[in-house]
Structure 1
Amino acid sequence: MKLKDISRTATFAWDLSSSSSPLLATGAVAGALDESFSNDSQLELWAPDFSDGQGLRLGGEGAGPQGSITVGSRFNRLAWSAPNATYSRGVLAAGMETGEIHVFDPARILSGSTADQARIFQNDKHTGPVRGLDFNPIQKNLMLSGAVNAELYIFDLNSPSAAPIPPGPLSTKLNEITSLQWNPTVSRVFAASSSSGFTSVWDLKAGKEIVSLQYGGGAAKGMETVGGMAGLQMGKRRGMSDVCWHPEQATRLITASEDDESPIIMLWDLRNTRAPERILSGHHKGVLSVSWCKQDADLLLSCGKDNRTLCWNPQTGEIIGELPQTTDWSFQTAWCPRNPDLLATASFDGHIGIHSLQTTTIPSQPSQIAETATADDVFGALGNQEAADEGANVLSLKQPPRWLRCPVSATFGFGGLLVSTSNLPGASGKHQSGVVHLRKVVTEQDIIDRATALEEMAGDQAKLAEFCGTRVGGDADAAWKTLQTLFKADSRDDLVKLLGFSKTDVASQVQEAIKKFPVLQDGVSEKGQDSLVTFAEPEKNVEKVEEKVEEPDTPTAATKVEGTLSEISVASDSKRTEETSATEQSLFDDHTPGTPAAAAADFFSSMAAGTLRNPLLDNVIPHKSEVGDSSVAATMGSRPSSVRSE
């Protein structure tokens, strides 16, 4: 997504210091004029704060630069060196359209010094515009420059007053130098691209040009990705706009063609210079700039005359991302050397966009007519729609960057198991294989021994009981004793003891409770009733029986008494049934016979009369019907509320 937008038509260079917030230097690019038609240009240093949340814009209506100086000519190229003992922020070199080379101290520019105060030295050795400029990443005191007529010079910053020296004899294949770069692995080697269509590789030890790369079409390993475009231009020499070395492999490099008829990017391996190893085709017009990510060789940026900035995987030739399309040529793109998550792109529409690889996609939203639109003003309503978010990108990366991939991972499992994975790269730097390791990690051997012993005795109750016996002791005695008891064959008596009970005490308590009851004689109590009847009948019924029945002396007399009790119970039930019926008729007299209420009354009356009673149970437990009483009580309690509700 776009983080910041600098409102400048300028070439730029990233700060190489280890600062958490990198600086960006911009210089008004040659070949572009502003509204004032001024030929003066400014060299500005920006410190974009990505966490301030104060807006997207820098310059113009947004925040201004941290420091700036004014010079008399426009810039073709900027290069920022790494910090050293003398210059804490490195030095900033500028290749001018007049052929001059200026070297400035960024620290002085930030402090507010003028151009003359901040300038370290100035050289006008070149006879034309300087478009190639680069610092040696290994021997940091060496600076390489290139201009028209194949002019190449090497400057020693330790002796700025000394005259620059050429790397060797003048090349006959090169014309105007469009770009150059030192090899990041071999300090004495550099490559320079030219508008003549050649890219030359130089060796300072040999003091000459050792190889020249030029492609006029024909067979190539990556030809299937071109779609026949390069094959139609066989024999035509194309101008090379940029060159970039592989960040890890010293023999591989990228060249870009600025020809609109064949806008291709060529991946070369110097072990075979007859044809490119792979051809990347995706731009519709000439490619103007390329940048290879130092932290991940699978990420390559390119921009061109078709206003597009693409992100490639050069190993496969696949386009894995695209930034928002600008309204004019995109002439420069570069990764941030300290934070590879950041990249910048400059275009002739007057903007330098700083983007992040995070959140690089936004769902497309179809255009809709506003609700206030009318048939007479449809186009006006469409014109009032809000513009798309400038901070959104149009395509997400299809692969994660290397710094976001996990080279190794590990997790713990049960039983002290440790699972780890590792990704093994091959000789070419690509993923070769993945390995999964299973390891046993023992941190507490005592716990392992106890768990092993417990697992061995699983299923053997005798061993489990013995094990629980060994654990008895301390505050957990009761728990271990209970477990030990459960593992025994006959554990009922022991469980009773653990619960605090004794069979002898329980038996004695039962005997004492029995003695408290009246003494039974021949199955009949002292009050003249059977013991079962005594427990079930209330005392008032017993008194009624005593008034009418004398103490039986024989079993026959007892049978008569029993019959008499049954007759009395039936008579009492009949009398209560009549009272219940009379009460129910007075309460529900508004119902006619045949209604559900009347049927229910008859049903419960029949139950009270004993028609549904089991006669075999009358001799065991005398029946006492309380339906009438409960019905009357319930009816009396509900009658007033029923009347009020009516």
Structure 2
Amino acid sequence: MNGPRPPPAVLQTPGFAHFAIAWSPFHATRIALASAANFGLVGNGRLHLISVVPGPGGALNVNLDKHYETQDGLYDVAWSEVHDNQLVTASGDGSIKLWDVVLNNLPIRAWQEHTREVFSVDWSNLKKDMFVSSSWDGNIKLWTPERPRSVLTLQAHHSCVYQAMFSPHQPDLVASCSTDGTLKIFDLRAPSYVPAGPGVNTFTNPISAAVLTVPASGTEVLSLDWNKYRPFVLASAGVDKLAKVWDCRMIKLGETGGVGGACEVQLLGHEFAVRKVQWSPHRAEVLATASYDMSCRVWNTVPAAGRPQLMYIHDPHTEFVVGCSWSMYDEGILASCGWDSRLNVFRV
């Protein structure tokens, strides 16, 4: 916030509201953008592939390189951790599609197991052949691109699961958040995940044993993220307009798993629901949030004495801001997207 900054680089895609953005883990300048017509209520979707080009004086420019049309709106996107040209999308019709950016028009694979909207996808950076999806049908599913069906189904919350993510520290831990106001952590090594016998699989017999349940809010929890440097620390955000930081080592054991999690920090400032949280990949204490109040904010969760938690407010958007994502190669660059059909890439 010291001195002038270059204006954000802006990409406008008329007719398509944006739901999620993801930077490539392989290419420093490549972004994928998941979008939907009519704010995702009805109509088709579009996957945009974008390159960010540095300009003079620290300025940034964005170019639309390619886009793919889909029959239903896209709610999330995740890059493969194995193939630098592949990525997976989550769709409102319950489908999941795998794309190769070298090819045109059609996905290279598609899966249709979820019975309602798929709202999130996340690729494991440890088990690099695995990704996870979550859906409004209440289920979390684990996948590998080589198989025609899911590897595992977790019947997580008995309500809409807004997001599910692999831990960046432990390859067998998955966290989720839901309309029921909880965060749940699943350990895929737990005995309950061992198939019960011939013919029994988790596609027809889902399992639901969370090792930890965190009562995070009295309302819906819309987003979560694992801290990249502190293995058992999660951020959550939702309808209560707060972003919260949880230490999940605080567990009270019960018959059906642990309950607990200590809230380290509450970040108050957004005027409406917080739709997305993401920890910085460069600094353990820095968190970005995107909100229905049309702003994207950056916070220091452990500020020095006398310093504010709120570091930066980005508010050029004119509609709900529903996605934000840090560049993995440049510490100061953040991207935001919203229902105003704008993608903004800017320096914090």
For Structure 1 versus Structure 2, the TM-score category normalised by the shorter chain is: 0.7 to 0.9
In the alignment, does 2:243 pair up with 1:297? no
Aligned counterpart in structure 1 of residue 164 of structure 2, from 233, 238, 243: 243
1:71 aligns with 2:13: yes
Q: How many residues were matched structurally?
A: 276
- For the 8 Å contact 1:293–1:340, the answer to whether it is kept is yes
Deviations 1:431-458 (A, max 9, x none): xxxxxxxxxxxxxxxxxxxxxxxxxxxx
Is contact 2:303-2:309 (8 Å) kept?
no
Query: Counterparts of 1:343 and 1:331 in 2: how far apart (Å)?
Result: 13
**Partner residue, 1:94:** 33
Q: 1:199 to 1:315 in 2, by over 3 A?
A: same
- Name the structure 1 match of 2:96: 152
Paired residues for 1:359-370 under 5 Å: 359=303
**Cα deviation, residue 78, structure 1:** 0.9
Q: Structure 1 residue 361: deviation in Å?
A: 7.0
Q: CA deviation at 1:177?
A: 0.9
Matched residue, 1:343: 287
Aligned pair in 2 of structure 1 residues 112, 299: CA closer, same or farther (>3 Å)?
Answer: closer
Matched, 1:285 2:219: yes
Which residue of structure 1 lines up, in the alignment, with residue 325 of structure 2? none
**Aligned with 1:264 (options 157, 179, 182):** 182
Kept in 1: contact 2:241–2:268 (CA 8 A):
no
Q: 1:196 aligns with which of 137, 153, 156?
A: 137
The question of whether the paired residues in 2 share the 8 Å contact of 1:137 and 1:184 is answered with: yes
Counterpart mapping for 1:496-645 below 5 A: none
Contact 1:202 1:208 in 2 (8 A): yes
Q: Distance in 2 between matches of 1:301 and 1:390?
A: 15
Contact persistence 2:298–2:310 (CA under 8 A): no
Deviations 1:381-432 (Å, cap 9, x if unpaired)? xxxxxxxx7848xxxxxxxxxxxxxxxxxxxxxxxxxxxxxxxxxxxxxxxx
| 2-structure distance, mates of 1:276, 1:263 | 15
> Could you say which structure has the higher strand fraction?
2
How far has the Cα of 1:167 moved from its partner? Answer: 4.7
Please tell me whether the aligned partners of residues 309 and 325 of structure 1 are also in contact (alpha carbons under 8 angstroms): no
Q: 1:161 aligns with which of 100, 104, 107?
A: 104
Give 1:246 deviation, angstroms: 1.0
Equivalent runs, 1:101-500 vs 2, <5 Å: 101-107=47-53, 118-124=63-69, 126-157=70-101, 159-161=102-104, 163-168=106-111, 170-171=112-113, 173-215=114-156, 237-258=158-179, 262-271=180-189, 272=192, 273-316=207-250, 317-359=261-303, 391=310
Q: For structure 2, which runs of at least 5 residues remain unmatched after alignment? A: 38-44, 193-206, 251-260, 312-348
Deviation at 1:207, TM superposition (A): 2.9
- 2:103 match: secondary structure: coil
CA–CA distance in structure 2, aligned partners of residues 358 and 178 of structure 1: 31
Matched residues in 1 for 2:209 and 2:124: separation?
21
One-letter amino acid of the counterpart of residue 21, structure 2: L
Q: Tell me how far 1:358 sits from its aligned partner.
A: 3.6
Q: Deviations over 1:465-510 (max 9, x none)?
A: xxxxxxxxxxxxxxxxxxxxxxxxxxxxxxxxxxxxxxxxxxxxxx
The DSSP-based 3-state class of the residue aligned with 2:272 is: coil
Shift of the 187–215 alpha-carbon distance from structure 1 to 2, 3 Å rule, reads: closer
Distance 2:231 2:281 in 1: 13
Tell me, in whole angstroms, the C-alpha distance in 2 between the residues paired with 1:207 and 1:151.
13
Distance change (3 Å), C-alpha of 1:108 and 1:97? farther
> What are the superposed Cα offsets for residues 539-583 of structure 1, whole Å, 9 maximum, x if unpaired?
xxxxxxxxxxxxxxxxxxxxxxxxxxxxxxxxxxxxxxxxxxxxx
Q: Secondary structure at the residue paired with 1:131? A: strand
* Deviation per residue, 1:230-281 (Å, 9 max, x gap): xxxxxxx2100011111122211001012xxx31111111233431111001
Q: Whole-Å Cα distance in 2 between the matches of residues 248 and 74 of structure 1?
A: 33
Q: Shift of the alpha carbon at 1:210?
A: 1.6
Partner SS state of residue 48, structure 2: strand
Cα pair 1:127 1:148 within 8 Å, conserved: no
Q: CA RMSD in A?
A: 2.6
Letter in 2 for 1:292: W
Cα distance, 1:313 vs structure 2: 1.3
Cα deviation, 1:167-208, whole Å, max 9, x if unaligned, reads: 54x20x441111110111122211100011111111223331
1:111 deviates by: 7.1
Tell me: higher relative CO, structure 1 or 2? Use CA pairs within 8 A at least 6 residues apart: 2
1:112: how far off?
Answer: 7.2
- Residues 100 and 357 from structure 1, CA distance in 2 versus in 1: closer, same or farther, beyond 3 angstroms? same
Q: TM-score, normalised by structure 2?
A: 0.72
What is the distance in 2 between the residues matched to 1:167 and 1:360?
48
Counterparts of 1:54-65 in structure 2 under 5 Å?
A: 54=3, 63=5, 65=7
Q: CA deviation at 1:299?
A: 1.7
Deviation of the 1:136 alpha carbon? 1.9
Summarize deviations over 1:255-314 as a string: whole Å, max 9, x none: 1012xxx31111111233431111001312100000101222122110000111100112
In structure 2, the CA distance between the partners of 1:390 and 1:90, relative to structure 1 (3 Å rule), is closer
The whole-number CA distance in structure 2 between the counterparts of 1:175 and 1:195 is 6
**Deviation, structure 1 residue 128:** 1.9
Identity in percent: 17
Tell me by how many angstroms 1:355 deviates. 1.2
